[in-house]
Amino acid sequence: MKRGLAVAGFSLALAWTLSPRPAYPHNPTTTTVLFNREIATLLQRKCLQCHADGKMAMPLTTYAQARPWAEAIKEEALARRMPPWPAERGFGVFSNDIGLTPREFEFLTSWIDGGVPEGTDPAPAFVDHGDHWTLGMPDLLVSPQTPSVIEMRSAPAFRHVTIETDLARDAWIRAIDFKPDVRVTRAAFFSIAGTGQFLGGWTPWQSSTELPAGAAFKLPAHARIAVDVMYAGASQPVTDKPQLALYYSPDAPSTPVMTTTVRAVADTKTPERFVADFKTTEARALISMRPELPAGTRSFEIKLVRPDGSRDVLLWVKDAHQLWPTPYVFKNPVPLPAGAVLQAVAYIESGADLPPSPKPQNGEGGSGPRFTLTLNHYAAK
């Protein structure tokens, strides 16, 4: 009953938040920012992965579609709910960062507050890259044997799917891509069943994971790939049978990618504080991080402490949420000197009714909070 009320409340709040606000036809124009010039390209970069015809949310492709939503767009951007990138700017540089830059935010608010002018020149055409494989034709294309049925308007939640590769021999994988039904899919995470090797993640704004040059992960013969998919119901039931694309490395890599997963433990003096540490025994290069957060996580931080005492905050999420989970893929690998410590700290409050994390494959876990940090890294040259 409690969960039902929570879901209903969330649905009402979302409906109110995303309901169109009036954009009056006679508002005076007080800005030089135009939809057909700056705003259309901004929306194409940051919004249309979900906000286009046949996708998850209301389309914002054209001026006629976007104009009635102008005030709602401003409210979502001000609250930092959209685009759904929770990391604070200035801590780490990520290739899959979908958040608005300060310049983009200024363009958006200037356009909305300045009368939402359209412009006379035609807007640039929107090219939907979801219609093709952005990394070229895959070397191997696989799908789950059984499709998933997502019930109408079901709450966001993870499902565990297993995909058989039927590989006759070991392979080295340099990149992956994924094509689920974008009307209902919010995120997906891939790992090798049985070993826990993390392969990467999918979000609507970044479908593919491509490793740095010379790096690859090993996919054993007959490997099974575990996929944790977060689905959220649409206005009608949807049956999804996604495709997973694998791209081979032509040679065994000089830098095989390793996965390390560390589980946080509660601070005995501060029960709401959870800490996870990873200490390097040799120089490594950090490619990506995937935090798995329990319900009620308020905020979390990941920092690097070097042997000389210097430190950097690699990721800070001030207002955590679980409705749009994402991996964090560094634009450039982060050097981890031998003896460095990577520390993750999360602050958790009880009582929240949010989508659960995927169930651990090894049967561990329990009723208490679970915060793990999965890292992909390779030996530094």
Give the pLDDT band of residue 20 (cuts 50, 70, 90).
low
Phi-psi region of 123 (alpha: psi -120 to 50; beta: other; left: phi over 0): beta
What tens digit of pLDDT does each residue of 244-297 get?
999 999 889 988 999 999 999 888 788 789 999 999 999 999 999 999 988 889
pLDDT at 57 over 50: yes
Report pLDDT digits (tens) over 199-225: 999 999 999 999 999 999 999 999 999
- As a whole number of angstroms, the distance between CA 35 and CA 112 comes to 10
Residue with tokens 């909070």: 369
Does the N-terminal peptide bond of residue 325 adopt cis geometry, omega within 30 degrees of 0? Answer: no
Confidence tier at 370 by pLDDT (50, 70, 90)? confident
Instruction: List strands edge to edge, sheet with 372-379.
Output: 258-263, 372-379, 284-292, 328-336
- Model confidence pLDDT, tens digit, residues 324-355: 999 999 999 999 999 999 999 999 886 544 44
Distance of alpha carbon 228 from alpha carbon 226, whole angstroms? 7
pLDDT at 10: 37
The pLDDT, as a whole number, for residue 266 is 85
How many CB atoms lie under 10 A from the CB of residue 107? Answer: 20
Supply the pLDDT for residue 381.
77
Crossing angle (nearest 10°) for helices 102-113 and 70-78: 150
- Copy the structure tokens of residue 229: 């998919």
Note the pLDDT of residue 367. 40
Least confident of 167-171, 227-231, 356-360: 356-360
- Which residues of the chain does CATH 2.60.120.230 include? 131-255, 257-379
pLDDT for the residue numbered 351:
52
At residue 300, does pLDDT exceed 50?
Answer: yes
The confidence band for 69, taking pLDDT boundaries of 50, 70 and 90, is very high
Token pair for 233: 């119901």
Average pLDDT, the chain: 89
Q: Is residue 241 very low, low, confident or very high in pLDDT (cuts 50, 70, 90)? A: very high
Q: Which whole number is the average pLDDT over 363-369?
A: 41
CATH class of 131-255: mainly beta
Q: What is the pLDDT of residue 13?
A: 40
Q: Of 338, 333, 332, 271, which Cα lies nearest the Cα of 308?
A: 338
Percent with pLDDT over 70 in the chain: 88
Q: Is 316 within 8 Å of 366 (Cβ atoms)?
A: no
Q: For residue 193, which amino acid is it?
A: A
CATH number for the domain running over 257-379: 2.60.120.230
Q: Tokens 């979302």 — which residue?
A: 14
Q: Is 195 exposed, middle or buried (0-12, 13-18, 19+ CB in 10 A)?
A: middle
What is the per-residue pLDDT across 25-51, written as a single tens digit (0 to 9) for each?
556 889 999 999 999 999 999 999 999
Residue 348, class by beta-carbon neighbours within 10 Å (0-12 exposed, 13-18 middle, 19+ buried)? buried
Residues listed for the chain: 381
Q: Are strands 224-231 and 157-164 parallel, antiparallel or unpaired?
A: antiparallel
Predicted local distance difference test score (pLDDT) of residue 364: 38
Structure tokens at 70: 């102008």
Give how far the C-alpha of residue 309 lies from the chain's centroid of Cα atoms, to the nearest Å: 32
Count other Cβ atoms within 10 Å, centred on residue 40. 24
Token code pair at residue 295: 């319900």
**Does residue 319 contact residue 299 with C-beta atoms inside 8 Å?**
yes
pLDDT exceeds 90 at position 12: no
Residue 105 pLDDT > 90: yes
pLDDT at 62: 97
**pLDDT band with cut points at 50, 70 and 90 for residue 129:** confident
Residues with Cβ within 8 Å of residue 172, at least 6 apart in sequence: 216, 217, 218, 219, 248, 249, 251, 252, 253
Helix pair angle (2-17, 70-78), 10° resolution: 120
pLDDT (average), residues 352-365: 44
Sorting pLDDT into bands at 50, 70 and 90, what band is 15? very low
Structure confidence at residue 19 (pLDDT): 54
How far apart (Å, rounded) are the C-alpha atoms in residues 145 and 369?
A: 33
